[in-house]
Each structure stands twice: as C-alpha cells, then as structure tokens.
Amino acid sequence: MLLRPVIITLTGTTGRSGSCHSSTRIATGTYGCWRPGGSRSTFQAHPPGSHPPGLHGWLGVVPVWPVALRSVIGDDELIPAATVLLIRDGPDGPEVLMLRRNSRIAFGGMWVFPGGRVDDHELDPDDHVASARVAAVREVAEETGLQVTGARLETWSYWIPPVQASMKAPGPRRRFSTWFFVTRSPQGDVAVDGGEIHEHLWLTPADAIAKRQAGEIELVPPTWVTLWQLGQHADVAAALAWARTTEPGEFRTRPIHNDPTTLAWAGDVAHYGGGAHDDDGPRHRLIMEPDGWVYERSAS
C-alpha cells in the first residue's frame, strides 16, 4: 500500500502546536501528518507510557577511535556506521528486507535494515560516505548472505543521534552516525546467522508500520521515519530515482523533553538554535505519544 501524504492547512491559536492528534487542536502554519489511508500517522508506542529498551540504544560506553578519525558534536564521539535498504517490487509496492537483532547486542530485539559500524580498516578520514559504503557492502554480506556492490548503493539519508547531555537515560550511550543507503535487492535466498540476527522478513513500509502498531515488532525512530519515506514511492524504480536526484537528508536529532518526548530535526522551529516546543512555526518532528507516534513535516 502506498502511503500518500495528506496536507492539512491549519490557522488560528496554538494548542499543543501542530500535533494533529485531535481535530480540535489547531496551530498556525501548514503541516502534513500521515497514516495509511488517512490524514495523520498515529502508531502505538510499546509499552504504553514508556519506550522499548532498544530505543535507548539509539538515543544513546563509547569505544576508543583513533583521534584523527573521531567525529565530534559537542563533547560526544560519534561511531561511524552504515545501513542498507534492500528493496524489491511486490504486489503492493516496494518491499524492504528487515532483520531482528539479537536481544543481547546493540539495538537488541529491534527490527532493522542490514548494517553496522564502520570497522577501523574501512575508515577514510577524507571521505566518510565512502567509508560507510564499504562497510555497508560487508555488513549486507555478513548479515544476509547477499552480495551488493558499493557502486549501486544510493545515498538515502544521514542520521545523528542526540548529544549525551540531552538524553533522558543516565550514563554513557553509544552514538552511531549512520549513512542510510538503498539498492535493488540482488537475487538469492537470505541467510541469517542466528547469532547477531535471528529472523528476517520482507515487508512493505505500511505492513512494517502496522506490525509495530500492533506490538508485533519494535522499531527505532530512524527506521520508522525511513519506512515512512520509502512508503511514498510506488515501486523500486521510483524509490531509486528519488534517491539519485535528491540530496540525502541530514537528521541531526534534538530530543525535546516535553510530555510526550518529541524528536526534532532541521526545519523545525524547536531544532538547535531555534524556538521552544510549542512555538508557532514550521514542523519537522516525531511526537512520541504514549498511545501512538505522530510524524509531522511542514509542507515545503
């Protein structure tokens, strides 16, 4: 099922600005909120009133990297990483390969795209995208048994987690700065190792989001938003064409410890250097409501 954006133009006084969570709440500006077949995205958080354990792995003990290769925002180290959307055409639109990670490792129990950190020998201090591309090819082979080539990997987006000081959970957290790539999946059977990866599924974006809503799988915000983006394309060709012709979005995440927690990105009034959560202005955020997540992005 293609997830079609429905743009709602709202004007008036500010309630809980732009949440689109109730027809009685209004805010100044033009916002888009989405869900399959409807006008907004609302998806169940699990368990109610809290975030799944693996989410804290994304929101934040950091290994020692060679000083010259460290990438720092504020006082926080970033661990270079890469992940790949392996997509194929299905009867209801593009399908993407998703893997369930071992509960004992980073992002444990989460459903993710194939990927992982960039190894030391793969690091190129002058070309971080090239480093991530090399790691992506290796990780796909290790986690799925499929072979892809770096030349066929299109950049999709770049994600940077919140800085340590802004996280709710105490203690140090690993912060992976991750390049997302996309490619048409090669032919062949998927073979997971049963160690790091325990299961795999081919899912449409709508099905993956619906499974999360039903509590059947868990997703971290970058995966959730990426699924939503993929769901805007009718087939693999359209998704790849979009990736080739669109500058990859940078998602430098700022958590807003409102009630509920909200993640804001560039283009949002409450992003770094911007205003407060409830200020009037443009939106680019994920509102993590206890009874469902809401994704908002102002019409451009």
Provide the CATH number for the domain around residue 267: 3.90.79.10
In a domain, 1, yes or no: no
- 232: Cβ contacts below 8 Å, ≥ 6 apart: 2, 3, 4, 5
The alpha-carbon radius of gyration of the chain (Å, integer) is 19
CB 234 within 8 A of CB 2: yes
- pLDDT of res. 268: 86
Distance CA 106, CA 55 (A): 10
Task: Determine the angle formed by the axes of helices 221-230 and 205-213, rounding to 10 degrees.
Answer: 140
Strand partners, 76: 73
Distance CA 281, CA 298 (A): 9
Structure tokens at 27: 């805010």
Distance CA 223, CA 243 (A): 16
What are the C-alpha distances in Å from 246 to residues 128, 133, 243? Answer: 19, 18, 5
**In the block, residue with structure tokens 């699924």:** 227
CB 161 within 8 A of CB 55: no
In a domain, 74, yes or no: yes
Which of 82, 74, 88 is CA-nearest to residue 122?
A: 82
**In the block, residue with structure tokens 């992982």:** 116
Distance CA 130, CA 69 (A): 14
In a domain, 2, yes or no: no
Distance CA 285, CA 271 (A): 9
Distance CA 200, CA 16 (A): 39
Strands, E assignment, the chain: 7-10, 29-33, 71-73, 76-90, 93-101, 111-112, 115-117, 154-160, 176-184, 197-203, 249-252, 254-256, 262-264, 284-289, 292-298
CB 184 within 8 A of CB 244: no
In a domain, 251, yes or no: yes
CB 13 within 8 A of CB 26: yes
In a domain, 213, yes or no: yes
Structure tokens at 147: 């072979």
CB 270 within 8 A of CB 14: no
In a domain, 282, yes or no: yes
Q: Please, what are the averages of pLDDT over each run of 10 residues along the chain (300 residues)?
A: 33 30 25 31 32 43 29 62 98 95 62 94 94 97 95 96 60 78 96 78 94 88 94 97 96 84 87 74 85 78
Query: Taking the complete model, does pTM exceed 0.75, yes or no?
Result: no
Distance CA 14, CA 280 (A): 7
The amino acid sitting at 167 is M
Our count of domains for the chain comes to 1
In a domain, 26, yes or no: yes
Q: What do you get for the CA distance between the two ends of the chain, in Å?
A: 24
State the residue range of the domain holding 45.
7-298
